[in-house]
Structure 1
Amino acid sequence: MDDSKLNAQSNQYTDEHIITLEGLEHVRRRPGMYIGKLGDGTYIDDGIYVLFKEIIDNSIDEFRMGAGTTIQVTLKNKTLAIRDYGRGIPLGKMIDAVSILNTGGKYDSKAFKKSVGLNGVGTKAVNALSSSFMVESYRDGSVKKALFSCGKLTSEEPLQSTSESNGTRIEFTPDETIFGQYAFKEEHIETMLRNYAYLNTGLAIFFNSKKFFAKNGLLDLLNENITSETLYPIVHLKGEDIEIAFSHSYQYGEEYYSFVNGQHTTQGGTHQSAFREAIARTIKEFYNKNMEMADIRNGLVAAVSISVEEPIFESQTKIRLGSKDMGPNGPSVNKFIGDFVKKEVDNFLHKNGETADILLHKIQESEKERKAIAGVTKIARERAKKVSLHNKKLRDCRLHYNDTKGSDLDTSMIFITEGDSASGSITKSRDVNTQAVFSLKGKPLNTFGLTKKIVYENEEFNLLQAALNIEDGLEGLRYNKVIIATDADNDGMHIRLLLLTFFLQFFPDLIKKGHVYILQTPLFRVRNKKETIYCYSDEERTTAINKLSPNPEITRFKGLGEISPDEFRHFIGKDMRLDPVTLKKEDSVATLLEFYMGNNTPERQEFIIENLVVEEDITD
């Protein structure tokens, strides 16, 4: 490059381009660095719930330090208020504590030994990203109050006397200029609060008119979440800084709920891996038999919670633990969990012979099934490995759920489509970085009542399992969202039903963890020379016709293949409509499958089509 071009470039980069951001402006400029994705409140990992979590985590930390047994949470429209009865923020530093980055009491391990929020950022980020933010601190008969807007102090009231109990009250409204037209979903807040109650026995949390309180910790959590019948009563064991609960069920695979310092680590981490290894090793040593770890863990449903000093998480949103040690001077996470499980689980099995016999029988059944299909699985794995690089059914994307971190975690998705025409439209209009497509050749097999052998014998299911990378559990899942994209006619609905049956039968945790969705696509296009409106129902079509009258052109889409790639781009972009497929406590997987896919299937299929997807008209 010649000198004249270098000089021209340097003239375009001058002193005025060097910017210093004041106060919390950096949080507002780059919110993803602090809270992950933004979102509109549809999903539980959207940013507005991260804001809520950052505030209530402080209240939980107060309880864990022995201060305050009650937390009150109130939601009114778009404003959340959290009142705890802890020690209260020290009054002299209250404003600094909520408005100056890297300021907080949690750098002092004497004041907060095993908390989640240790980075001096959380509350400040909430303040910065809220159009209004109010903090009140009550300490020893005095109260201090301050109001902020977008992280900037707008008013401060002088110190006053009060008869209120010690503690802190924070009220905030997320900023619509940051989050857009969002809305809090009460069920997401309730899920979070329920987990907090399970993990903090003796803490009462009130949310509007509901109370969350757990007497039995993780035992209550598993009882609430297990959707398959357990083979033996849930084993519940507690020690200092650790609590575990587990049982085996009739379902395939493994299912874990893991927590650190009260934080739900939905992506697991070192503690979950340590527990997974320790439980299998301990059971194997107890029976003193040559058992496969996979046979021991098949059907295992477990929860593990540990308390760690100065935990290290792999992202700002704290959903995966990275710590290898229990604290600066503590043992490794592996050794701590391994020693506890070895001692307590071994003792339990020695004392409870009936449970030990049931567990042994379950392991032997798993071993028998595994050996029966060993030849099939070997051939299937080799076949999947050979086609993995040029799988004609899979048009892969560049980013994957199991190899991205931070704000990218939620972006990777796969569309499961029917036929070449539908997959062609999606493939031509997709985002190649984050959206993959898997094409079915027709109606998949009905797997109801079949064993897992069919997953390996059926080439299509085997390749789908390999594409998702879920043979050994969800830890390697390659796509955050598994989206069923079929036509909205009877054949499309039947294919949707057969795929849901496959997931319910062999990978129910994929649904439980909120990874499976149904793609909504428009039924009609209504347009005139000036405007085009896509309609997802007869009601929307009627509204569009009235708006674009007189005589608009109306097109009825019979299948996904009829929608051009240019049009399809709108339906899988920022305005994509997805229906999450959910499982609740009352939804027994075995009962669901028997009801939906047993005899008299026409009536039952009609019912599942109308009722399995419980949340509709959700915009992604």
Structure 2
Amino acid sequence: MNVSTHNYDESKIKTLSSLEHIRKRPGMYIGRLGDGSNQDDGVYILLKEIVDNAVDEFIMGFGKRVNITIAEDGLVKVRDFGRGIPLGKIIDCVSVINTGAKYNTDVFQFSVGLNGVGTKAVNALSEHFQVTAYREGQFASARFCRGILAGQSEGETAEKNGTMIEFLPDRQIFPGFVFDPSFIDKRMWRYAYLNAGLKMYVGKNLYHSANGLLDLLAKELAEENLYTPIYYKDETLEFAFSHTDSYSDNYFTFVNGTFTSEGGTHLSAFREGVLKGINEYAKKVFVNTDVRDGLVGTLAIKVKEPVFESQTKNKLGNTEVRSWIVAKVKDAVCSSLYKDTEAAEILIDKIHRNEKVRKELHSVRLEARAKAKKVALKIPQLKDCKHHPARGKPSPEGRRNMMFITEGQSASGSIVSARDPMTQAVFSLRGKPMNVVGQKMAMLYKNEELYSLMRALDIEESISNLRFDQVILATDADVDGLHIRNLLLTYFLHYFEPLVKLGYVYILETPIFRVRNQQQTIYCYSEKEKIEATRLLKGQGSRQLAVETTRFKGLGEISPKEFKQFIGPDIRLKNVTLDSISEVNKVLSFYMGKNTPDRKQYIMDNLL
């Protein structure tokens, strides 16, 4: 006790500069780090911060084009044709925290980057960062290395006004990172849909939308909408929505150009406005869930001083936006329905059908709940964990919890023995789950296992009640395991599509091979890794060592001691993502539906 007190003196107190603090605690500024294999990894946040600045210039009416190049080594260049950073302030704007024009609402009325941190974080977390501003035939440039100024220059130029920023993410912080073109593609299309008229080039690929959120909605619906979408746009609010025949509702919401994956006050206000607008037109009092089931909507608002519930801006917290959003949406929806009575008739019919399904489900739900209470107060297949996120809010990094869905007792036994009971829960399937393609919602309540899974996750009433930060499919890597994985994905996509859309569902990657000699053990996740490990462990030249290779047929064959490292800090997870909502029904009906001849022919054609 005395020793620790003696060690704690004035010399132990440290003051970090702003950029040093960013490098020391990068997660506070950009969320997760990662290697680029997940769409929320830090390298994409760095790119977003720079592109946001370029798009802000377009929003303010300066520059209609942004050029982006991403080299194979990860070097990113972003060139906009806006006003250009004032030449005398380029160093301060990219290296001094809380410095920028975005505090001045005369210069930037609707901007995401109001905290004065974004570009500075990119600078601090890059091994090479260079900013060049062009204004009225003059330029100024500054080069940095991990946030430290390494050189600067200025002079005359023939370049058009604007700003060029190039950065290479620091491999000390993002080891082995690679930019995934599919994630970049998705982000760029979002910018295009939110900024009708803006042309964005990534290499030679052009991202451009003429109709804004209507184009985004059309892409997601792919003509599965029941009626012509309702659309509205003014200076601060834009939205479009229609209904499909699916169960759940889906939304793509944005604030000042940033995708708010977790919604927030603007989304709840939008839902309330839609409900009130429809009720006013129909002169009835419909229930919220009946109106929302099957609704697919896009929403974008502009706020002068947005307040987000996290640094990565996934959820809006401003409460003052509610009243004006509700009022505008209600009036616009009611007016649109009066103008298009054919669409209004189809929409009201959809709501009546939702109402009928809900009432039919009510008795089935009561019966299922009564039966569940008789079996046990607890869910028998669930080994729960102690920590759960606050309702509607994700846990902070380092406290995130997860539920593994496993097949059979042997696999769940290994995970249960190896898990961290504070943050890791296990749900054990008793066999292959039912294929739910084409099944009505009532089937969910009649199937004991699928009902128990829904209860374990607590998503019956709303996805926002989810008790876990991550839902992880932990099945064997054999044919049966992959089939079970597909059945589980079908279950989530059919009944709880937003769970997948919002990125809560993951696949656990576990090793297929264990390669070892007397001195070292290497776990391999592919045939290629196994060959490389075997070559490495055999040694070179005359001193060849005996190597033992074990193939794991299932998760149950991996001992709890070994398994602990595969679900520990170095856990390998693959996030399940959706390209678009419109693809879901096509994929499920083809791969999991009753089109046996077509599927058989596809398998025969692609067998090799």
**TM-score bin (small chain):** over 0.9
Q: Which residue of 2 aligns with 1:458?
A: 447
User: Structure 1: how far apart are the matches of 2:439 and 2:383?
Assistant: 29
Is the Cα contact below 8 Å between 1:62 and 1:68 reproduced in 2? Answer: yes
Is the Cα contact below 8 Å between 1:128 and 1:150 reproduced in 2? Answer: yes
Once the two structures are TM-superposed, the CA of residue 258 in structure 1 deviates from its matched residue by 0.4
Is the Cα contact below 8 Å between 2:505 and 2:575 reproduced in 1? Answer: yes
Paired residues, what number?
A: 598
Alignment of 1:34-433 (within 5 A): 34-76=29-71, 77-157=73-153, 159-226=154-221, 229-325=224-320, 333-381=321-369, 390-397=378-385, 398-400=387-389, 402=391, 404=393, 407-408=396-397, 411-433=400-422
Once the two structures are TM-superposed, the CA of residue 435 in structure 1 deviates from its matched residue by 2.6
Q: Deviations over 1:406-446 (max 9, x none)?
A: 85299433211111211121122223343322111111122
SS at match of 1:177: coil
Is the Cα contact below 8 Å between 1:33 and 1:407 reproduced in 2? Answer: no
Letter in 1 for 2:517: N
User: Structure 1: how far apart are the matches of 2:512 and 2:5?
Assistant: 55
Is the Cα contact below 8 Å between 2:415 and 2:560 reproduced in 1? Answer: yes
User: Structure 1: how far apart are the matches of 2:548 and 2:140?
Assistant: 63
Q: Deviations over 1:172-194 (max 9, x none)?
A: 11111112221111221221111
Is the Cα contact below 8 Å between 1:410 and 1:480 reproduced in 2? Answer: no
Once the two structures are TM-superposed, the CA of residue 115 in structure 1 deviates from its matched residue by 0.7
Alignment of 1:488-507 (within 5 A): 488-507=477-496
The structure-2 alpha-carbon separation of the partners of 1:442 and 1:602, relative to structure 1 and needing over 3 Å to count, comes to farther
User: Structure 2: how far apart are the matches of 1:422 and 1:227?
Assistant: 40
Range 415-424 or range 539-548, more displaced = 539-548
Letter in 1 for 2:125: L
User: Structure 2: how far apart are the matches of 1:10 and 1:31?
Assistant: 30
User: Structure 2: how far apart are the matches of 1:300 and 1:257?
Assistant: 11
Once the two structures are TM-superposed, the CA of residue 41 in structure 1 deviates from its matched residue by 0.9
Once the two structures are TM-superposed, the CA of residue 497 in structure 1 deviates from its matched residue by 2.3
Q: Deviations over 1:302-340 (max 9, x none)?
A: 011000011101111111101112xxxxxxx11111111
User: Structure 2: how far apart are the matches of 1:199 and 1:243?
Assistant: 9
User: Structure 1: how far apart are the matches of 2:16 and 2:535?
Assistant: 50
Once the two structures are TM-superposed, the CA of residue 112 in structure 1 deviates from its matched residue by 1.3
Range 466-475 or range 441-450, more displaced = 466-475
Alignment of 1:549-568 (within 5 A): 549=538, 551-568=546-563
Q: Which residue of 2 aligns with 1:614?
A: none
User: Structure 2: how far apart are the matches of 1:59 and 1:116?
Assistant: 12
The structure-2 alpha-carbon separation of the partners of 1:378 and 1:533, relative to structure 1 and needing over 3 Å to count, comes to same
Letter in 1 for 2:350: K
SS at match of 2:216: helix
The structure-2 alpha-carbon separation of the partners of 1:403 and 1:530, relative to structure 1 and needing over 3 Å to count, comes to farther
Letter in 1 for 2:514: R
Q: Which ranges of structure 2 fall in alignment gaps of 5 or more residues? A: 539-544
Once the two structures are TM-superposed, the CA of residue 262 in structure 1 deviates from its matched residue by 0.6
The structure-2 alpha-carbon separation of the partners of 1:152 and 1:595, relative to structure 1 and needing over 3 Å to count, comes to same
Is the Cα contact below 8 Å between 1:282 and 1:341 reproduced in 2? Answer: yes
Once the two structures are TM-superposed, the CA of residue 369 in structure 1 deviates from its matched residue by 1.2
The structure-2 alpha-carbon separation of the partners of 1:32 and 1:590, relative to structure 1 and needing over 3 Å to count, comes to closer
SS at match of 1:408: coil
Is the Cα contact below 8 Å between 1:259 and 1:304 reproduced in 2? Answer: yes
Are residues 1:536 and 2:525 paired?
Answer: yes
The structure-2 alpha-carbon separation of the partners of 1:124 and 1:464, relative to structure 1 and needing over 3 Å to count, comes to same
The structure-2 alpha-carbon separation of the partners of 1:15 and 1:389, relative to structure 1 and needing over 3 Å to count, comes to farther
User: Structure 2: how far apart are the matches of 1:113 and 1:433?
Assistant: 45
Is the Cα contact below 8 Å between 2:262 and 2:502 reproduced in 1? Answer: no
Letter in 1 for 2:345: D
Q: Which ranges of structure 1 fall in alignment gaps of 5 or more residues? A: 326-332, 612-620
The structure-2 alpha-carbon separation of the partners of 1:167 and 1:336, relative to structure 1 and needing over 3 Å to count, comes to same
The structure-2 alpha-carbon separation of the partners of 1:313 and 1:389, relative to structure 1 and needing over 3 Å to count, comes to farther
Letter in 2 for 1:343: D
Are residues 1:511 and 2:500 paired?
Answer: yes
SS at match of 2:300: strand
Range 16-25 or range 378-387, more displaced = 378-387
Pick from 421, 432, 441 the counterpart of residue 430 of structure 2: 441
The structure-2 alpha-carbon separation of the partners of 1:334 and 1:105, relative to structure 1 and needing over 3 Å to count, comes to same
Once the two structures are TM-superposed, the CA of residue 299 in structure 1 deviates from its matched residue by 0.3
Once the two structures are TM-superposed, the CA of residue 523 in structure 1 deviates from its matched residue by 2.5
Once the two structures are TM-superposed, the CA of residue 607 in structure 1 deviates from its matched residue by 7.0
Once the two structures are TM-superposed, the CA of residue 166 in structure 1 deviates from its matched residue by 1.1
Residue identity over aligned pairs, in percent, reads 50
Letter in 2 for 1:20: T
